[in-house]
Chains A and B, each alone.
Chain A
Amino acid sequence: MTYRIIHRTTYEYSGPVTVSHHSARVNPRFTDVQSRRRFTLNITPEPAVRKNRTDYFGNRVCFFAIQEIHTRLEVEAISLVTLKASTPPALALSPPWNEVAELFRDPVSPEVVDPYQFCFDSPLVRTAPDLAYYARASFPAGTALLLGVANLNQRIFRDFKYDPVATSVATPLEEVWVKRRGVCQDFAHLAIACLRSLSLPARYVSGYLRTHAPPGKPRLVGADASHAWFSVYCPSVGWVDFDPTNDVLAGEEHITVAYGRDFSDVSPVSGIITGGGQHEVRVSVDVEPLSEGEARKQEWADEE
């Protein structure tokens, strides 16, 4: 399946901004099932400094700085991405979860050092005994790891209410836990905290989700949003992505942009401004499925 994604972030400031520095992680990664065929990043006003690099987790980051006085900033990312159809892993055949957890207790073998990095508390995700207790209900002794995770994924979907006004980017996980409400970012953080509380490596994935128009109605352009889910490490299988907001395994409709320990590692567009007063931010995302013919037409070679 091929998608064209237009992800536009617009800042309007009430006062003039004299200088601003930003980082954008909006360039979709290559994965086993995903390839990026085009990526363009348009920034207005034109940044004085603009550089691309790869961060610690292998995500592409664009750093830019605007040094002229401005009251509006627009960051538009256009990506063309193809996802391969793949068979979901056989959940029941995965190793027992407690054996996996044992792998990540000291001393840890050098082969699993990479996933081991995702076992610890990170700025927005802190493990806790209550979370371990909550998670344990999905993991009776000997349960196959991925079956347990699928069950946890489903329980979060059922126990927590999707509520876009209950939380903000800054809401701590503890509050989400008490209110039992949140959005995709909160559910991903919660699942990660639960798994890490059981010594299982879990990471945060930011990306996009294809949305379907209600039957008989046309697809609304720009009505999508960026999405987030989590991924768990399973020996011999690798990282497996689950989406607790929709109670599914991430599949051909989940486009991966970046991953890290939590949202703070992969925030799509962030910045520090000097001056500016109050500001307002608008984000619009449009995920459009393309036929192969259309995709070819739009495919360019202008990387970044």
Chain B
Amino acid sequence: MTDATVKSSAAAQRAALLARYRVEAGRYDELLAGNGRVRPHYETLISELESLGSEELKRRSDTGRRLVHEQGITYNVYGDPLGMERPWQLDPVPFMLGAGEWRKLEAGLVQRATLINRILADCYGPQELIRTAWLPPALVFAQPDFLRPLHAGRPADGNFLHFYAADLARSPDGQWWVISDRTQIPTGTGYTLADRLVTTRILPEAFRECGVQRLAGFFREAQATLGRLAPRKTDHPRVVLLTPGPFNETYFEQAYLARYLGYSLCEGQDLTVRDDRVFLKTLSGLEPVDVILRRVDDDFCDPLELRNESMLGVPGLVEAVRAGNVVAANALGSGLLQSPAFMAFLPGLCGQILGEELKLPSVATWWCGQKRAESYVTEHFDKLLVKPAFRSRLRGAEPSGPMSAAEKAAFLRRLRFQPHLWVGQERVEFSSAPAWTCEGLAPRPVALRVYVVATPDGYRVMPGGLARVAPESGGRLISMQRGGAAKDTWILADGPVEDVTLLSVAGQEVELRRVGNNLPSRLADNYFWLGRYAERTDSTSRLLRSTLLRFSPESTGHALPLLEPLLDTLVAQGQLPAAAEQPELRTNAEALEAALLAAIFDPAQSGSLRSLAGQLQRLGMLVRDRSSNDLWRVLRQLDDRLAMPTSSLVMLAGDAIGVLNQTLLQLASFHGLARENMTRAQGWRFLDMGARLERAIYLCTLLDAALRSPEADNPSVLEAVLEVADSAITYRSRYNLVPNMAAVYDLVLLDDTNPRSLLFQLNQLAKHFEKLPRERESALPSAGQRVLIECVTRLRLLDPRPINRLSSRWHDSDVGRAITNTLNDLPRLSDALAVNYFAHSAISRAR
């Protein structure tokens, strides 16, 4: 190829890439200048994208979607009938900003954070601004977010605002405006990081060529800031991330950040206040907490002193904060400044407090608590966006969409009755930025959220941010709740890019640690159930596979009795309805086939494999901050594999067996990862205990059903038992003959060299119990250990041989009784664990 052809093909590519890029009149476009030329800071990116070509871009965009899915980057949408969790929408084309423009924005953001911090300190302190009329009193006193119990408390380092975020929009003249301030819980840093990781994986060449500033430095500053807040003098301050729980819309990023920053993710019930100090409940007792990075709203944090219907918080937290024994970031009460009404007063306050002009303007705002503003807003009602001035709990009804004359009159009456509850704002014209669509690049309205962290040298801005684009071109609303997409934000560097990592600096002395017993009790609980559900899914798959393999719709009637033990086990485990409920299942092969397929794929049936996989994924979510990405990915794929549209339930048994085989392979990799990759700490121990216990219960259930069958000594029933217990190969290698009852039961019950035998599970459980932190407190065995000693002794004394002499009523034999008794004892073991280790009792209010 000659230079000329390269050029002309590049031109053709460019034509293809930007062919449909039509900037809407009256909008500022981030990519194209008024003359239709690509702006300089987008040039490198665009030529990189061009050299990839549309086909390749499409492929990479699909890869991006897959990465988002695999990593489980999700966003919970409230009230979504399709299930709460939604995949995060990521647009692969980054949002670009040049170094010079960024420096100006940075200066404006630092000034704004400094100002807001000072205003907060005054409102929660001397209230000079109110007494000198720089701030209208109603702006503070009428706000539900002004938390009086926090008044007159001074935060440890003097800062109320450790983290701050601002939403920015650019108007047609190219000016940036702040459209909202996030002063309480600036969400989105985790998503920003996740977006960066995905975007750089799909566009590595462009990322390298553009010279993009890195994000890691910001997170390191954040870690250092939180560490410095610790009131205890210690090298290892304990920072926890307090989450409202998995139903919160940004739970994903909370778990993600906790893991990235190395903090424990905990809910209110995991913490307790003793002697005015906050502690984390762990397996080995209470561990002091120094700093709480909170994702729980201000007024939900302490049901004793703040909003007392809240059960998300920690009773006594406010008093612990007051006593200076724990620090919350941001400080409790910082939500006050989130009110858009403050925007109307920032220019004046900036002059008064900092003696400077406000560098970054806010969108024009009129707070109706002032007479003149009220008249302006009522006169220009149709042009303005009128919305609540304060976060309101009961009266959410803000005007949305066009109103009839009567509706408008009614609304204005409400406004005039309590004008201070409303603000009017100019409607924002967003700029547009290139987004990837099925037709190439297209301009979409864009908003940018940027983040700031407090450091000893003042505020620092994250060089990047969370850009969001609207789903259509004319959009005025940009919201992830309503179908928008996120973009990574690339801030170009002036010079060489500095590489930063979160790992400790080399050469620093490190105290070697090997622990630990400090696993939060709730996580131990989650690991235990993760183990149980993984094993339940495994056993259920085996049982369903064995059933389907033995089942042929042609062989009706006489073949079914041999299936009975397997079907009874499926009934006992909740995969099939009881024979009494649907007797036709035992006579009609087609009905049975349908029921078996439903037991695999039907998400609405609580014991089905599909819903077990769903449970597994939910539990995986709860331990995400502590487990590897691979473990999560396996659970994710398992769920995907079983996610069949209900219409395809009409499927051949042969296909279903294929799916079951795949499922078993996925589970094998789950167990493999758990065995090979988890340190032998308490998390792994509880996972394994859960799996062992579940396997023991499953095995006993199966054997109990088999012994109750009139065909219990039938070789094909024994064969099925061996197969479900995954011991067929071992049996054949040892006995090389038609299954013999005593030999089969010996192998699956008593052989402690067989990792599938009952005794093996019990022995492993006993070993785990010995290592648990609270088992050695007493000279006598604990409740759980007693159960195990009883079960193990019973099995050790059992002689299976007499069973061969019976011709019926096998379950009345010694073997049968041992199985029944073990089956009754095992739940007691689970209870003993729960009482000792998982106790996180609920709090309630005493009136």
Q: Mark A57-78, 1 if CB is under 8 A from B, else 0.
A: 1000001010100000100000
- Chain A: CB-nearest residue to B316: A21
Contact assessment for A270 and B845 in the assembled complex, using a CB-CB cutoff below 8 Å: yes
B274 beta carbon closer than 8 Å to chain A: yes
Residue from the list A65, A106, A270, A271 in contact with B371, Cβ < 8 A: A106
Taking a contact as CB atoms under 8 Å apart, the answer to whether A108 and B137 are in contact is yes
Tell me whether A110 and B131 are in contact (CB under 8 A): yes
Which of A85-93, A120-128, A210-218 lies at the interface with chain B?
A120-128
> Which of chain B's residues have a CB closer than 8 A to the CB of A31?
none
Known: A18-B841, A273-B844, A273-B846. A116 touches B138 (CB 8 A): yes
Partner of A110, one of B133, B144, B316, B843: B133
Tell me whether chain B's interface is mostly helix, strand or loop, or mixed: loop
Q: Does B737 contact A (CB under 8 A)?
A: no
Beyond A23-B305, A67-B274, is A116–B137 a contact (Cβ under 8 Å)?
A: yes
Q: How far is the CA of A102 from the CA of B151 in the complex (A)?
A: 28
Q: A65-B316, A126-B394, A274-B841 are in contact. Are A19 and B141 (CB under 8 A)?
A: no
- Interface residue tally for chain B (C-beta within 8 Å): 42
- Chain A stretch 20-52: residues in CB contact (< 8 A) with chain B: 20-23, 48-49, 51
Among residues of B, the one whose C-beta sits closest to the C-beta of A118 is B141
Nearest B residue to A281 via CB reads B847
Nearest Cβ in chain B — how far from A171, in angstroms? Answer: 13
A158 at the interface (CB under 8 A from B): no
Residues of the B chain whose Cβ atoms lie less than 8 Å from the Cβ of A117: 137, 141
Closest to A65 in B: B316
**Which of B136, B152, B273, B274 meets A107, CB within 8 Å?**
B136
- When distances are taken between beta carbons in the complex, the residues of chain A under 8 Å from B847 are 169, 270, 281
A19 to B151, CA, bound (A): 27
- Which residues of chain B have C-beta atoms less than 8 A from A105's C-beta? 371
In B125-163, which residues have CB < 8 Å from any A CB?
130-133, 136-138, 141-142, 144, 148-149, 151-152
Most B Cβ at <10 Å: residue of A21, A123, A129, A132: A21
A302 → chain B, closest Cβ, in Å? 23
Chain B residues at the A interface, C-beta cutoff of 8 Å? 130-133, 136-138, 141-142, 144, 148-149, 151-152, 272-276, 303-305, 307-308, 315-316, 319, 369-371, 394, 413, 417-418, 420, 841-847
Expressed in whole angstroms, the minimum distance between the Cβ of B299 and any Cβ of chain A is 10
CB contacts (< 8 Å) of B319 on chain A: these are 21, 51, 63
Are the CB atoms of B843 and A106 closer together than 8 Å? no
CA distance A271 to B304 in the complex (A): 6
A220-270 interface with B by 8 A CB criterion: 264-265, 270
A200 smallest CB distance to B (angstroms): 14
A160 to chain B, nearest CB (A): 23
Least distance between B355 CB and chain A CB atoms (Å): 23
Q: Is the CB of A113 within 8 A of B304?
A: no
Is residue A300 within 8 Å, beta carbon to beta carbon, of the partner chain?
Answer: no
A270, B304: Cβ atoms closer than 8 Å: yes
The answer to whether A21 touches B273, judged by C-beta atoms less than 8 angstroms apart, is yes
A residues whose Cβ falls under 8 Å from a Cβ of B: 11, 18-23, 48-49, 51, 55-57, 63, 65, 67, 73, 105-108, 110, 113, 116-117, 119-121, 123, 126-127, 129, 132, 169, 264-265, 270-276, 279, 281
Given contacts A21-B315, A110-B133, contact A271 B141 (CB under 8 A): no
A44 to chain B, nearest CB (A): 15
What's the dominant secondary structure at chain A's contact region? Answer: mixed
A271 touches B845 (CB 8 A): yes
Would you call B148 and A65 a contact (CB within 8 A)?
Answer: no
Closest to B131 in A: A110
Instruction: Determine the distance from Cα of A273 to Cα of B131 in the docked complex, in whole angstroms.
Output: 40
Q: In whole angstroms, how far apart are the Cα atoms of A55 and B369 in the complex?
A: 28
Report B373 CB to chain A, min CB distance, Å. 9
* Chain A residues positioned under 8 Å from B275 (CB to CB): 48-49, 65, 67
Within the assembled complex, what's the spacing in Å between the Cα atoms of A264 and B309? Answer: 11
Q: A117-B141, A271-B845, A272-B316 are in contact. List 9 more A-B contacts (CB 8 A).
A: A23-B305, A56-B148, A106-B420, A107-B136, A119-B142, A127-B417, A272-B315, A274-B843, A281-B847
A123 proximity list for chain B (CB < 8 A): 144, 307
A274's contact among B132, B272, B369, by CB below 8 Å, is which? B272
**B846 & A270 in contact (Cβ 8 Å cutoff):** yes
User: Is B846 in contact with A107, judged by CB distance below 8 angstroms?
Assistant: no
Choose among A48, A119, A272 the residue that contacts B845 (Cβ–Cβ < 8 A): A272
A-B pairs with beta carbons under 8 Å apart, 15 shown: A48-B274, A49-B275, A49-B276, A51-B319, A55-B149, A65-B273, A65-B276, A67-B275, A73-B846, A108-B138, A110-B133, A113-B137, A117-B137, A119-B141, A270-B847
Q: Is the CB of B846 within 8 A of A279?
A: yes
Which residue of A has the minimal Cβ distance to B307?
A123
Closest CB of chain B to A233's CB: distance in Å? 14
CB-CB under 8 A from B142, the residues of chain A are 119-121
Report the Cα distance A116→B142, complex, angstroms.
10
Contact between chains at A271 and B138 (CB < 8 Å): no
CA distance A129 to B276 in the complex (A): 44
Chain B residues whose C-beta falls within 8 Å of the C-beta of A20 in the assembled complex? 846
Residues of A within 8 A of B842 (CB): 274
- How many Å from the CB of A164 to the closest CB on chain B? 15
* B370 near A107: Cβ-Cβ < 8 Å: yes
A281 to B844, CA, bound (A): 14
A117 and chain B: residue at smallest CB distance: B141
A113 lies within 8 A of B130 (CB): yes
Cβ-defined contact, B130 with A21, below 8 A? no
The answer to whether A271 and B274 touch across the interface, beta carbons within 8 angstroms, is no
In the bound complex, residues from chain A placing their C-beta under 8 Å from that of B273 are 19, 21, 65
Contact B304 A21 (CB under 8 A): yes
Contact between A276 and B316 (Cβ–Cβ < 8 Å)?
Answer: no
Q: Look across to chain B and name the residue whose beta carbon is closest to the beta carbon of A129.
A: B417
The answer to whether B133 and A107 have CB atoms under 8 Å apart is: yes
The answer to whether A127 and B845 touch (CB under 8 A), given A55-B149, A56-B148, A117-B141, is: no
Q: Given that A18-B841, A56-B148, A110-B133 are contacting pairs, would A23 and B304 also be in contact in the complex, using a CB cutoff of 8 Å?
A: yes
Are A273 and B843 interface neighbours, CB within 8 A?
A: yes
Asked whether B149 lies within 8 Å of A56 as measured between CB atoms, the reply is yes
- B418, A127: Cβ atoms under 8 Å? yes
B846 A11 Cβ-Cβ under 8 A: yes
Partner of A19, one of B272, B420, B846: B272
B839 to chain A, nearest CB (A): 9
Contact B846 A271, beta carbon cutoff 8 Å: yes
Q: Which residues of B contact A281 (CB under 8 A)?
A: 846-847
Chain B residues whose C-beta falls within 8 Å of the C-beta of A272 in the assembled complex: 303-304, 308, 315-316, 843-846
Q: Which one, B138, B272, B308, contacts A106 given CB within 8 A? A: B138
Given contacts A121-B142, A271-B845, contact A19 B274 (CB under 8 A): yes
Judging by beta carbons under 8 Å apart, are B132 and A110 in contact? yes
CA distance A50 to B149 in the complex (A): 17
Chain B residues lying within 8 Å of A273, measured Cβ to Cβ, are: 843-846
Among candidates A18, A51, A106, residue contacting B136 with C-beta atoms closer than 8 Å: A106
Q: Determine how close the nearest CB of chain B comes to the CB of A109; give it in whole angstroms.
A: 9
Docked CA distance A2–B7 (Å): 101
- Cβ 8 A contact of B138, one of A120, A126, A265: A120
Q: For B308, what are the chain A residues with a Cβ–Cβ distance below 8 Å?
A: 264, 270, 272
A151 to B559, alpha carbons, bound, how many Å?
Answer: 90
The residue in chain A whose Cβ has the minimal distance to the Cβ of B147 is: A56
Q: Which of B137, B305, B319, B369 has the most CB of A within 10 A?
A: B137
Q: How long is the Cα–Cα vector from A228 to B172 in the complex, in angstroms?
A: 58
Contacts of B272 in A (CB 8 A): 19, 274
* A103 → chain B closest CB, angstroms: 12
CB of A71 to closest CB in B, whole Å: 12
| Residues of chain B within 8 A of A275, CB atoms compared | 841
The docked-state distance in angstroms from the alpha carbon of A197 to that of B340 is 24
Contact in complex: B844, A276 (CB < 8 Å): yes
Closest CB in chain A relative to B27 CB, distance in Å: 37
Cα-based distance from A279 to B275 in the complex (angstroms): 24
Instruction: Please name all residues of chain A whose beta carbon is closer than 8 Å to the beta carbon of B417 when the two chains form the complex.
Output: 127, 129, 132
Q: How far is the CA of A197 from the CA of B798 in the complex (A)?
A: 82
Q: How many angstroms between the C-alpha atoms of A270 and B305 in the bound complex?
A: 9
Partner of B370, one of A55, A63, A106, A270: A106
